[in-house]
Amino acid sequence: MAQQTTAPKARRRGLGFAAGLVFALIAGVLGGAVGAYTERNGGLSTVELPQAGPEAADRAPGSVAGIASRALPSVVTLHVGGGGEQGTGTGFVLDRRGHILTNHHVVDSAGTSGRITVTFSSGETARATLVGKDSGYDLAVVKVQGVSRLTPLPLGNSDSVRVGDPVVAIGAPFDLQNTVTSGIISAKGRPITAGGQKGDGSDVSYVDALQTDAPINPGNSGGPLLDSRARVIGINSAIRAAGDGAEPDRGQAGSIGLGFAIPINQGKRVAEELINTGRATHPVIGVTLDMQFTGDGARVAERAREGGASVTPGGAAAAAGIRPGDVIVKAGDERVHSGEELIIKIRAHRPGDELRLTLRRGGRELVKTLTLGSSASD
């Protein structure tokens, strides 16, 4: 009886074991297939990646973002057309009366009958009229009317700037308005000349510039260079591009980290004169320089171009005892290596300022102190 009842049970256990083995194999195959599918296709459920939650929009006032948020409402893009030419540049609001400061070369193509359109960071646009311009300083003032809630940019003191100070530049490079870049002050007192496309020297600007590595490109001209407190310390005006000299951004060369800005102390004086009188004054010493002189220093010409006296009778230089043939080698404490550099160093001052000049005459070095005269721009 034991044999009759135990044999069938043994067969059932064997069948059960075989069925379990088959199920395990099927499950393994299915599991591998599902795993392979998951690996290839990212799973069978919706993917949700981890992400930071909302943060406060405010940034530290001295950060680039903080400076930009305060300054952008005061920065404008200018579109200028006239005489068959079109151009784009930048400017910034000076006061609530609608005066905007920019570069001379930005608005020059408008002439007397061209069109100047100003676009604010909000997208609002307005027509602008020319108040005054000066090619020697490469500065101009335009004015908008009927625009409410104008926010002037505060002006800093460019004399207080130090090499290495952080700066922020705002402009419209290649017409990309509200572009913000940052860098440092790379150098101060860089003597640069720019312009000269007319060939007669009437459009040459002379700038004792702030140098910066903040990227500046065509369209940045006239825009503000700001310090860490969002105050204007310079007006972006020129760049040096690979393979050429320091030129205003009239061409299409891009930034290589050599940008130049007109110090705001000079810009403020010129802007005030343009607003109040429509013209700017230039400090002068009353001499004609020999611009072909290749030696070191700035040489006073023997004769003026028209054949007259190279030292203006009754002028500042004549009163100080400067003579034709003298070679000026210092303006104040700064070396002068050419006639252009002397003009730049003189224009960094105001009419009426005293200026000490060191010169060479007949192998001797002399020091002369004079009071700068004044010449109105055209």
**pLDDT greater than 90 at residue 370:** yes
pLDDT of residue 266: 96
Please identify which of the residues 79, 99, 104, 105 carries the catalytic annotation.
105
Residue 190 CB neighbours (<10 A): 18
Q: 304-336: per-residue pLDDT in tens?
A: 887 889 999 999 999 999 999 999 999 999 999
Check whether 264 has a pLDDT greater than 70.
Answer: yes
The band of 366, judged by pLDDT with boundaries at 50, 70 and 90, is: very high
Residue 66, pLDDT score: 95
Concerning whether 374 is annotated as a catalytic residue, the answer is no
The active-site residue out of 108, 134, 138, 249 is 138
Indicate the pLDDT class of residue 377, thresholds 50, 70 and 90. Answer: low
Nearest 10 degrees: Cα torsion 179, 180, 182, 188: 70
Q: What is the pLDDT of residue 220?
A: 94
**Strand extents, DSSP E, the chain:** 75-82, 85-93, 99-102, 115-120, 125-134, 139-144, 166-171, 179-194, 205-212, 224-226, 232-240, 246-248, 259-263, 281-284, 298-299, 327-331, 334-335, 354-361, 364-371, 373-376
Report the distance separating Cα 76 and Cα 120, nearest Å.
5
Question: How confident is residue 240, by pLDDT bands cut at 50, 70 and 90?
Answer: confident
- Nearby residues of 81 by Cβ (< 8 Å), 6 or more positions away: 87, 109, 110, 114, 115
The single-letter code of the amino acid at 120 is F
Which one from 135, 221, 338, 377 is the annotated catalytic residue? Answer: 221
State the pLDDT at residue 376.
75
* Active-site residue, 337 included: no
pLDDT at residue 248 above 90? no
Average pLDDT of the segment spanning 350-355 = 95
Residue 196 confidence class, pLDDT cut points 50, 70, 90: low
Cα–Cα distance measured from residue 71 to residue 98, given in angstroms and rounded to the nearest whole number: 16
Per-residue confidence band for 114, with pLDDT thresholds at 50, 70 and 90: confident
Q: How confident is the model at residue 194 (pLDDT cuts 50, 70, 90)?
A: confident
What mean pLDDT value characterizes the chain? Answer: 86
Whether the predicted model's global pTM rises above the 0.85 cut: no
- Alpha-carbon gap, residue 210 to 256, rounded angstroms: 16
Residue range 224-234, pLDDT digits in tens: 999 999 999 99
Question: Around 357, how many Cα atoms within 13 Å sit in the side-chain half-sphere?
Answer: 31
What is the predicted pLDDT for the residue at 246? 46
* Mean pLDDT in residue range 180-207: 84
The answer to whether residue 109 scores a pLDDT higher than 90 is no
Residue 254 confidence class, pLDDT cut points 50, 70, 90: confident
pLDDT in tens, 84-105: 788 899 999 999 999 999 999 9
Over residues 18-37, the mean pLDDT reads 53
Q: Is 105 a catalytic site residue?
A: yes
Write down the pLDDT at residue 86: 85
According to the model, what pLDDT value does residue 44 have?
Answer: 61
**Confidence band, pLDDT 50/70/90 cuts, at residue 1:** very low
Q: Is pLDDT of 339 > 80?
A: yes
